[in-house]
Structure 1
Amino acid sequence: MKFKIVCFFFYCWSTFMYGQNHAQFADSIRVSNAIPELSYAVISGDEILEINALGLHSVDLKDPATLNDRFHIGSNTKAMTAFMIAKYVEKGKLKWTTKFFDLFPDLKKTAKPEYYYITLEKLVSHQARIQPFQGENDPAVPDFKGNPQEKRNQFGQFVVTLDPVTIDQDHKYVYSNAGYTLATMMVEKVTGKSWEQLVDQVFNRDLKLDIKLSWPENQIVKDTWGHSFENNKLSPIPSNTDYHLDYTEPAGDINIKLTDYIKFIQLNIKGLQGHNNYLKASTYHFIHKGIEGYSLGWFNSYENNQDFSTHSGTAGTYYTIAAIDRKNFIGYIIFTNSFNESTINGVRLLMRKLKKDYGS
């Protein structure tokens, strides 16, 4: 027993020391790029190789960063929505080849013919030619009424009346938040549950992760404040600000602790290593590598003879990024509570350093 305790202490100490080296580098990046809070982790399928929380909850507060802090992960929500849908595909509720209008035949009456044969797979991989709805130059959207699911259904009916975008040999997909709304409508239809209920079932009840929606609460408890960038200045945004990611929540509206997000990424790493867990290993392979370019919630990225699943996310006030090295089976996660060019630059520098030191 004594030997095991000594070995465990040595492992923790060596990991702590190695982590401290990167903590100093990461904090210098944070400060030089004016990022209020930066948390990061490097993980394998079974271990946390390094983890740190640096900085402050807000530029206007002295609350120090902790590993209990929550971050809005923006479009990294897509990987979680695709994961959730995959579970119900495994359960036989629908197939990746299921056609959207097989479930919603009434919507076909007003839809553009180009959409008649779109499938669940095409929607989740951005190959359905759906308008992007990324906040810039979006078509004007009617003011839909009802609960979130009812609004998504009305939005989906509206989306398929719009002209499709162009896909060609050089651009095989067009990134679309609205496409994830249509995919979510399909799983809501066959399960009889809303996306919010399905997220709660899969991530909170089944996997015991502490998933919440919209921005982290920072008025009742001490937690992160997202920061917008206006007039060349970061401005902290309170969680009670009137903010709604209407109609496209499944594409980008989850908040989570880094420690819980690690568990989600580790499931993916183990699956890519060939281990069945909450999903089958074959499902993980299809999610990550089944489709060239953009698979199901993940970009396929190839760097220096390595191949990665990667994704970033922001709703304008937080910026997060995750990458999985699919050869060495190492995951890299960086969470920040600001979004501007300086934030992106700092995150890229830290990610490059971590990949170099752990992946070489």
Structure 2
Amino acid sequence: MTTPQEELLPATRRALLHRIAVAQSEGRTPSLVAAVVRDGRAVWHGARSSVDGHGPDENVQYRIGSITKTFTAVLVLRLRDEGVLDLGDALEKHLPGTGAGEATIAELLAHSGGLAAESPAPWWERTPGSLRPELADVLGKQPLVHPVGRRHHYSNPGYTLLGALVEKLRGAPWEDVLRREVLEPLGLDRTTAQPQAPHAGGWAVHPWADVLLPEPAEDLGRMAPAGQLWSTTGDLARFAVFLTRGDDRVLSARSVREMRAPAAPAEAADVVDGAAYGLGLQIQYRDGRLLVGHSGSLPGFLANLTISVEDDVAAVVLTNCTSGPLTAGVGADLVRIVAEAEPRIPEPWRPLPEADAAVLELAGQWYWGTHAFALRLTPDGGVSLEPLSGFGRRSRFRANDDGTWTGLEGYYAGELLRAVRRPDGAVSHLDLGSFVFTRQPYEEGASVPGGVDPEGWRGIG
């Protein structure tokens, strides 16, 4: 992936550089590197460093911490897509004897499996993984701290279990499976479990003085699927494109879209903050924009990957200090700068190459009781149903082979939409999960539940 600087306007490039310069300076970090992706490729790379003339480029590795979890989630979704497991399966079905087997695979992916946030002491991020050789050492005597499935509670041991699940079902180490099934197909040659030169060193910056202390870079062992990886802005830019569009060599667009959908019960604080969690991806609303991605931290390093699918803009921010710039905020700002300064130009409108007459017949106005809706054909061969008033339930629907449609979002997600026809072939009404939609409000002779008063509409005399 190239980084042609001229693809962004000079004012936009300066605004991006200014943002990371402020972050590096005010965050007091030895170095900070960033990249921006637009329309499927990197269009900007920037770096700030405390050492003159040594600004890291897009090939310098930094540790990415919990962004590793998103890679682990991709491996689990691949097993689901192959039919090896179901996300609703209890962990015990595939990985027995852990003491946390009641949690489903989906709950572990979404951090709602009830597990503790961390492994037992000593703190796993600053100690060698050899201290925790078995899953029991990671989970401790009481793995669960909440009822399974009741609340979102971020859990590093939960992703250790998912990594062990991948190893059990693939019959190979997590690192080998990741390289073979994700890193190599996507061309992420600079994403590795162990650092490979050139790479940044991790530092702690004294909170009250401009002095440094080196941080250890431990091999996390069993905890690796939760935070082991090293990567670069170049590789994570490519990974952002994959998480936006999918890649059939790894996961389909449909499956990565599923990863981006909220999957965990939200806590009150999450609702206030506009945050949620999908299947290995963090989700937030910021400045009216829906953002997905993941943050990461390990001693000596902070990382963030932020994507606005609607704007087709993503940002990567990597830095080598234990605490400093709020990389999630920086990433969101980089996305906002590009999306607002250079809004996405929509594709030209084009007529459909063909239209099924039986589907075209359904287009137009429909009524659920007295609520007016419009059914429209969509360019992907499906249909959409939305209220004409601007308020109410709406959804897009995917076409099925039998002439029905399945809801993709909102209240109607997963619900079946079908056209009910009379014996002569004429359309009687639409049935959507038992709701009847008619061409006229409470249309006489239509199959309206409870019937229609035979005297019809009237005034009050």
Q: The TM-score by the shorter chain falls in which range?
A: 0.7 to 0.9
Partner of 2:24: 30
Distance 1:140 1:148 in 2: 12
Question: In the alignment, which residue of structure 1 is the partner of 2:63?
Answer: 72
Please say if 1:183 is aligned against 2:162: yes
Alignment-derived partner of residue 321 in structure 1: 304
Q: Residues 290-313 of structure 1: CA distance to partner in whole angstroms, max 9, x if unpaired?
A: 514211111121223321113211
Q: Which whole-Å deviations, capped at 9, do the CAs of 1:247-300 have from their partners, x for residues lacking one? A: 2110111001211111111011113xxx75631122111111051421111112
Partner of 2:104: 119
* 1:203-352 matched pairs, under 5 angstroms: 203-210=182-189, 211-214=191-194, 216-217=195-196, 221-230=197-206, 232=208, 233-235=210-212, 237=214, 241=216, 243-271=218-246, 276=248, 278-292=250-264, 293-340=276-323, 342-344=324-326, 347=327, 350-352=330-332
Cα pair 2:129 2:219 within 8 Å, conserved: no
Structure 1 residues 191 and 276: CA distance shift in structure 2, 3 A: closer
Give me the whole-angstrom Cα distance separating, in 1, the residues matched to 2:20 and 2:287.
23
* Counterpart contact for 2:41–2:238, Cα < 8 Å: no
Matching of residue 200 in structure 1 with residue 194 in structure 2: no
Contact 2:16–2:337 (Cα < 8 Å) also in 1: no
CA deviations 1:169-211 (Å, max 9, x no partner) are: 9x72110000001111112111101111112212333222122
Match of 1:166 among 146, 152, 157: 146
Q: Secondary structure of the equivalent of 1:200? A: helix
Q: Mind listing any 5+ residue stretches in structure 1 that lack a counterpart? A: 1-10
More helix by share: 1
Between the aligned partners of 2:7 and 2:40, the Cα distance in structure 1 is: 17
What is the alpha-carbon distance in structure 1 between the residues aligned to residue 54 and residue 162 of structure 2?
A: 40
Compared CA separation, residues 331 and 160, structure 1 to 2 (3 A) = same
**Aligned pair partner of 1:129 in 91, 114, 118:** 114
Give the length in aligned residue pairs: 320
RMSD between superposed Cα atoms in Å = 3.2
Residue 120 of structure 2 is aligned to residue 139 of structure 1: yes
Bigger proportion of residues as strand: 2
Matching residue of 2:54: 63
> Which residue number in structure 2 is paired with residue 101 of structure 1?
92
Taking structure 2 as the reference length, what is the TM-score of the superposition?
A: 0.62
Question: d(CA) in 2 for partners of 1:276 and 1:314?
Answer: 30
Aligned residue identity for 1:71? Y
- Cα distance, 1:150 vs. partner? 12
Give how far 1:228 is off. Answer: 1.9
Higher relative contact order (CA 8 A, sep 6+): 1
Shift of 1:14: 5.1
Asked if 1:39 is matched to 2:33, the reply is yes
- What residue in structure 2 maps to residue 6 of structure 1? none
**Aligned AA (1:265):** A
What CA distance in whole angstroms lies between the structure 2 residues aligned with 1:246 and 1:49? Answer: 36
Counterpart secondary structure, 1:289: coil
Unaligned residue ranges in structure 2 (runs of 5+): 265-275, 341-461
Q: Is the 8 A contact 2:5 2:44 kept in 1?
A: no
1:234/1:142 Cα in 2 relative to 1: closer, same or farther (>3 Å)?
closer
Q: Aligned partners of 2:68 and 2:105: how far apart in 1?
A: 17
The 3 A distance-change label for structure 1 pair 235 and 45 is same
CA deviation after TM superposition for structure 1 residue 27, in Å: 1.8
The equivalent position to 1:15 in structure 2, one of 1, 4, 8, is: 8
Whole-angstrom distance in 2 between the partners of 1:279 and 1:242: 31
Structure 1 Cα separation of the partners of residues 88 and 147 of structure 2: 20
Contact preservation (8 Å) 2:69, 2:226: yes
Look up the equivalent residue of 1:23 and give its one-letter code.
L
